[in-house]
Amino acid sequence: MKKIYGILGDPVAHSLSPVMHNAAFEELGMDAVYLAFRVSQNELEDAIKGAKSLGIAGLNVTIPLKEKALLFVDAEEVARRIGAINTVDFRTGGTPVGYNTDGIGSIRVLKETVGELKGKKVLIIGAGGAAKAITFYLDLKGAKVTIANRTKERAAQLASKLSNADAIGLDTELKQQIKTSDILIHATSVGMHPHEDATLVTADMMHPDLVVFDVVYNPMETKLLKEAKRAGVKKIVNGVKMLVYQGAASFELWTKEEPPIAVMEKAVTDALACD
Ligand SMILES: NC(=O)c1ccc[n+]([C@@H]2O[C@H](COP(=O)([O-])OP(=O)(O)OC[C@H]3O[C@@H](n4cnc5c(N)ncnc54)[C@H](OP(=O)(O)O)[C@@H]3O)[C@@H](O)[C@H]2O)c1
């Protein structure tokens, strides 16, 4: 029987997950389909219970449901610490299991780009959902993290939950911190379509040996990444890889199959190019 997977969100029509996972199912010849379901916060519990009753094989959850979804699953420990999940696995038959593959995806990107993360000095801008998922995993890997956020209290709150992190605002201190960092991760919505000319960091604030990773994937080359090029930065990564790797991690959890990464990435970049 055809297996059904899907994503719950509100809104969810523009999610790239259906195109990415359906391309993977097709590539592997699997009898499966991945659909988008618009679900409000109030309907989330019913939706997860209903999905289990209907035999849906696996779900992603996205904005604004990632935190609330935690209430209806048995989440793995790091996801509980992050306070959000993006993946639900029904395979156990009992309480669904929740994971946060955003963190897993970002660490895979960083490891591929940088290698060992232990002892690396990382400056991350943002203290929202993406930043939380990334920083908890960076902490597990032994990186030294500075969190810079417009609302400094939010950065301080996040830093207090990590073992080796501190917090700053987006003021003059930011420039100083970037100059002494190994890795800069941008995890705010600044520079996202349709505000493509916006950036919180300009070329004069960067150095060529910095690794610059923007989690924003639409546009694929953000203003921040253009500025990084202008500063002569050698290692630049956009948000597409993280999107694909978080999807691949969910795919592997659900299916136990090796995800066809190149096919998934092409499906996402093709969809973004048509946007
Ligand atoms: N590549 C991927 O796989 C992936 C995965 C998840 C998310 N993302 C992307 O990551 C970005 C953030 O998502 P999220 O879920 O973390 O959002 P979120 O939870 O709403 O957090 C938004 C963050 O952006 C900051 N911010 C918003 N507007 C700002 C402005 N004008 N100036 C300075 N800071 C501003 C907020 O600061 P305050 O705390 O001060 O409000 C907060 O830190 C989005 O572009 C999303 O598409 C990518």
Question: Which atom of ligand 1 lies at the shortest distance from residue 132's CA?
Answer: 16
pLDDT tens, position by position, 232-270? 999 999 999 999 999 999 999 999 999 999 999 999 999
Residue 56 banded pLDDT, cuts 50, 70, 90: very high
Distance, CA of 24 to CA of 208 (rounded, Å): 36
Q: Is 189 in the pocket of ligand 1 (CB under 6 A)?
A: yes
What pLDDT score does 20 carry? 98
Residue 91 banded pLDDT, cuts 50, 70, 90: confident
- The CATH architecture to which 103-237 belongs is 3-Layer(aba) Sandwich (3.40)
Beta bridge partners of 148: 125, 168
What does pTM read for this prediction? 0.96
What pLDDT score does 232 carry? 98
Distance, CA of 258 to CA of 275 (rounded, Å): 28
Query: Which of 152, 154, 188, 237 to mutate for ligand 1's pocket (most ligand atoms within 8 Å of CB)?
Result: 188
pLDDT tens, position by position, 102-114? 999 999 999 999 9
Q: Is 217 in the pocket of ligand 1 (CB under 6 A)?
A: yes
What's the helix, strand, coil split of the chain in %, to 5? Answer: 45, 20, 40
Domain boundaries, the chain: 3-99+244-274, 103-237
Same fold, 3-99+244-274 and 103-237: yes
Q: Is 150 in the pocket of ligand 1 (CB under 6 A)?
A: yes
For the cut 90, the answer to whether the pLDDT of residue 172 exceeds it is no
For the cut 90, the answer to whether the pLDDT of residue 93 exceeds it is no
Q: Is 191 in the pocket of ligand 1 (CB under 6 A)?
A: no
Residue 92 banded pLDDT, cuts 50, 70, 90: confident
For the cut 80, the answer to whether the pLDDT of residue 43 exceeds it is yes
What pLDDT score does 157 carry? 97
Question: Which atom of ligand 1 lies at the shortest distance from residue 191's CA?
Answer: 45
The CATH superfamily of 3-99+244-274 is Leucine Dehydrogenase, chain A, domain 1 (3.40.50.10860)
Residue 158 banded pLDDT, cuts 50, 70, 90: very high
How many helices and strands, by DSSP H and E, does the chain display? Answer: 10, 12
**Coil/strand/helix, residue 38:** strand
List C-alpha distances in Å: 151 to 154, 195, 205, 237: 6, 20, 21, 26
What pLDDT score does 34 carry? 98
Ligand 1 centroid, distance to 91 Cα (angstroms): 32
Beta bridge partners of 213: 185, 237
pLDDT tens, position by position, 131-151? 999 999 999 999 999 999 999
For the cut 80, the answer to whether the pLDDT of residue 125 exceeds it is yes
